[in-house]
Amino acid sequence: MKADMNLHAAAENATAVEAVHWEPPMAPLDMPRQQLESDREVTGLFTRLFGAWRHA
Amino acid sequence: MGDDAKMAVTRLYRGLAIGFALLAATIATIMLTDAALEDGTDVWDIARSVLIFLTTAWLAWGASLSLVGLMPRRRRAEPAMMMPQPRCIVLVPICNEDPVATFARIAAMDHSIQAAGVAADIAVLSDTRDEDAASGERNAFAHLLDETAGQGRIFYRRRQDNRGRKAGNIEDFIRNSGAAYELAVILDADSLMEGQAIRRMIAEMQADPDLGLLQTLPKITGATSVFGRAMQFSASFFSPVFARGLARLQGTTGPFWGHNAIIRTRAFAESCALPPLAGKPPFGGHILSHDYVEAALLARAGWSVRVDETIDGSYEEGPENILSFAKRDRRWCQGNLQHIRLLTAPGLRAWSRFVFVQGIFAYLVSLVWGLFLIASVAGAVFAPAPDYFPDTYQLFPVFPSDQTQQIIALGIGVVGLLVLPKLSILIESAMTRRAVGFGGSLKAAGSVLVELLLSSLLAPVMLMYQSRAVLQVLMGRDGGWPANQRGEGRLTIGQGIAAGFWITLFGAAALTATWWIAPGLLIWLLPVAVPMLLAPLLIALTSRVGISGLFQTPEEAAPSPVIRHYRAIHDRWTRDDNGPEDAIPVPPALGAIA
């Protein structure tokens, strides 16, 4: 059981090493989250429309 | 041509297309209403009139896209790529894909990119959750690096948290590595692009600094089944004209189809971080059809988004059977209906909102057709009995006038709207000699005819799947994001029955009910009901290899170098069962061109 776990850990480490080795270069870019809807819209027409229909 | 002049032309095309759709819908509505009012007005007549207006407007809108696109583009000098080259990366987001096929495509593209003299890195962005599949990806990636000498320019990273699905995967890359690249080509796992196509896209982006995204028109390749080859033919033969029409109508607001496109990284970063929508799926949560939204957001931020169907060398694979198509369509349906939430998003261009409406209606129209059929049967059932003596002191009976001819004329008009675009494209292909690539005008005409028959036969089956998808979404059922089924798609009759017997039952029930309550309408229902009865057979038979003489495309007759190269690599890798150590030696060209 212990040996199995060690093997599993070794495989995970190898994966981690590979992953870092293969990853694209770090060059962060700011990406501001966009506004697409206001909270009021969600609980407004849409929910009323489909909510009512679904529970009819 | 200046920007104002271009906008004026775009507005003219939009006006013509919308005007044509409204005119056709109005004529159809008047004809039907005229016929229906003969025996008085009831609620079913009003419903039929509204529904025929909506369905005809939709059909005419589709026809107008092709008519607007018929005229070829004005010739212009293609821009050349300027030096120094902008830093460019090709992004390949994957999720539970066949690793051998995916990485073999990348090997072929890497070779083609370098042969075209383009310096571009490649990043495979994995969202694969299954550990065995991920292990297969790592093995295939190691094989790819061996094959291409790609260490340091071909990357692989696997996200631990696949938030936001494909859009989130791209966003994650741009957040972490976007500043290293000015341009990024976005592909799908099944995409293939010639290096020359990427070179041309880079040149177009250099030539227009306001261009935030440039979409190409991918041609479908590799199809073998009847269904797949019919789609492949459609995509190659009809789509360039439809895409040109779309380009003329969209102007600088789109479209973006999510792959086989190039983005300006800065533009995408500043405008395309999508928020999850409040609430649960199917209407809340992550935005599924993210590409339309990203195009709208780029346009909102003042960037141009264009499609250019003249860029050759852009390919993808398509579904090989109706079930794969319906499965993908279920996801698109949920994604498009989710856009209902975005119709009032702040600051969007009016045309972007209109595009959302189109996408939503593309799915709702199936229900509208179904409702029209129901209203037509109900209208006949509840029609009052003819009154031969409407006046008290009347010597001779008054027979109701026969409106059959009017209804037939309406039917011919509706069918005409379906057939007109394809026939006009056939004529265009003969006049421009484009048909040569499809086996010549005669063979192309045969392919168009068979495609028309096949699509007419499959339309009721598709309508049923689409209607079911729409109802599922409206009832709140989340379809999730199932992995794409690519490659071999042959289905047995048993699988056809399992997947399509409910459609047979529905068709049989509809026929029986009509025969029982309105036998006069039976003949009108047959073109819809017979394909429904045959649904399991159609599903199974169209998934098989066949019709080899027809549906020829230029890409099939003479595959481009990147396709040939991909197939050669794939064959070699799949023959090589023992891993990279026993791989057949790589052709010297691969990885040697730096």
Question: Strands B120-126 and B88-94, how do they pair?
Answer: parallel
The DSSP secondary structure of B396-460, one letter per residue, reads S--PPPP-HHHHHHHHHHHHHHHHHHHHHHHHHHHHTTGGGGGT-HHHHHHHHHHHHHHHHHHHH
- Residue B544 pLDDT: 93
Count CA atoms closer than 13 A to B540's CA, side-chain side: 13
- Residue B381 pLDDT: 77
Which residues of chain B make contact with A48, given a CB cutoff of 8 A? none
Which residues of chain A make contact with B476, given a CB cutoff of 8 A? 50, 54
Say what angle helices B404-431 and B43-69 make with each other, to 10 degrees.
Answer: 10
- Residue B454 pLDDT: 96
Contact at CB, A34 and B174, closer than 8 angstroms: no
Spatial strand order of the sheet with B219-220 comes to: B192-193, B314-316, B219-220
The torsion angles phi and psi of A3, rounded to 5 degrees, stand at -60, -40
Contact at CB, B155 and A22, closer than 8 angstroms: yes
Rounding to the nearest 10 degrees, give the CA dihedral for residues B577, B582, B587, B589: 100
Contacts of residue B110, Cβ cutoff 8 Å, sequence gap at least 6: B122, B148, B150, B154, B591
- Residue B300 pLDDT: 97
Contact at CB, A23 and B275, closer than 8 angstroms: no
Contacts of residue B487, Cβ cutoff 8 Å, sequence gap at least 6: B98, B101, B317, B320
Q: What percent of chain A is predicted at pLDDT more than 70?
A: 30
| Of B404, B405, B415, B388, nearest in space to B520 by CA | B404
Distance from CA of A1 to the nearest CA of B (A): 20
Distance from CA of A45 to the nearest CA of B (A): 10
User: Six-digit token pair at B274?
Assistant: 């999508």
Contact at CB, B177 and A27, closer than 8 angstroms: yes
- Which of A33, A41, A50 has the CB atom closest to B275's CB atom? A33
Distance from CA of A16 to the nearest CA of B (A): 10
Question: Strands B183-186 and B88-94, how do they pair?
Answer: parallel
- Which of B89, B174, B346 has the CB atom closest to A31's CB atom? B174
User: Six-digit token pair at B55?
Assistant: 């369905």
User: What are the C-alpha distances in Å from B217 to residues B108, B474, B558?
Assistant: 20, 32, 18
- Which of A25, A27, A54 has the CB atom closest to B476's CB atom? A54
- Which of A27, A34, A46 has the CB atom closest to B274's CB atom? A34
Q: Report the amino acid identity of residue B428.
A: E
- Residue ranges of A 1-56 with Cβ closer than 8 A to chain B: 15, 18-19, 22-39, 41-42, 46-47, 50, 53-54
- Residue B387 pLDDT: 65
> Tell me, what DSSP letter sits at residue B274?
P
Contacts of residue B467, Cβ cutoff 8 Å, sequence gap at least 6: B366, B367, B370
Spatial strand order of the sheet with B88-94 comes to: B154-158, B120-126, B88-94, B183-186, B261-264, B211-216, B304-308
Q: Distance (Å, rounded) from C-alpha B159 to C-alpha B163?
A: 9
| Of B338, B289, B290, nearest in space to B470 by CA | B338
Question: What is the tens place of the pLDDT at every residue in A1-28?
Answer: 444 444 444 445 445 545 557 999 999 9
Say whether pTM exceeds 0.80: yes
Count CA atoms closer than 13 A to B288's CA, side-chain side: 26
Distance from CA of B525 to the nearest CA of A (A): 30
Element (DSSP H or E) covering residue B108: helix B99-115
Give yes or no for a contact between B295 and B302, defined as CB atoms under 8 angstroms apart.
Answer: no
**Ranges of chain B with pLDDT below 70:** 1, 38-39, 384-390, 392-403, 481-488, 576-594
Count CA atoms closer than 13 A to B22's CA, side-chain side: 6
- Residue B181 pLDDT: 97
B92 CB within 8 Å of a chain A CB: no
Contact at CB, A32 and B475, closer than 8 angstroms: no
User: Six-digit token pair at B547?
Assistant: 């019709």
- Residue A14 pLDDT: 47
Question: What is the tens place of the pLDDT at every residue in B29-78?
Answer: 998 888 777 667 788 888 999 999 999 999 999 999 999 999 988 888 88
Question: Strands B183-186 and B154-158, how do they pair?
Answer: unpaired
Q: Distance (Å, rounded) from C-alpha B378 to C-alpha B46?
A: 12
- Which of A24, A30, A42 has the CB atom closest to B157's CB atom? A24
Contact at CB, B279 and A42, closer than 8 angstroms: yes
Q: SS3 of B220, please?
A: strand
Q: SS3 of B304, please?
A: strand
Contact at CB, A50 and B476, closer than 8 angstroms: yes
Contact at CB, B177 and A42, closer than 8 angstroms: no
- Residue B388 pLDDT: 63
B178 CB within 8 Å of a chain A CB: yes
Instruction: Mutate one of A12, A13, A23, A29 to test the B interface: name it (highest B CB count within 10 A).
Output: A29
Contacts of residue B339, Cβ cutoff 8 Å, sequence gap at least 6: B289, B292, B293, B356, B359, B360
Q: Which residue has the tokens 């495989």?
A: A11
Which residues of chain B make contact with A26, given a CB cutoff of 8 A? 176-177
Element (DSSP H or E) covering residue B260: none
Domains of chain B: 88-320 (3.90.550.10)
| Of B162, B144, B237, nearest in space to B556 by CA | B237
Instruction: Mutate one of B158, B266, B298 to test the A interface: name it (highest A CB count within 10 A).
Output: B158
B180 CB within 8 Å of a chain A CB: yes
Distance from CA of A46 to the nearest CA of B (A): 7
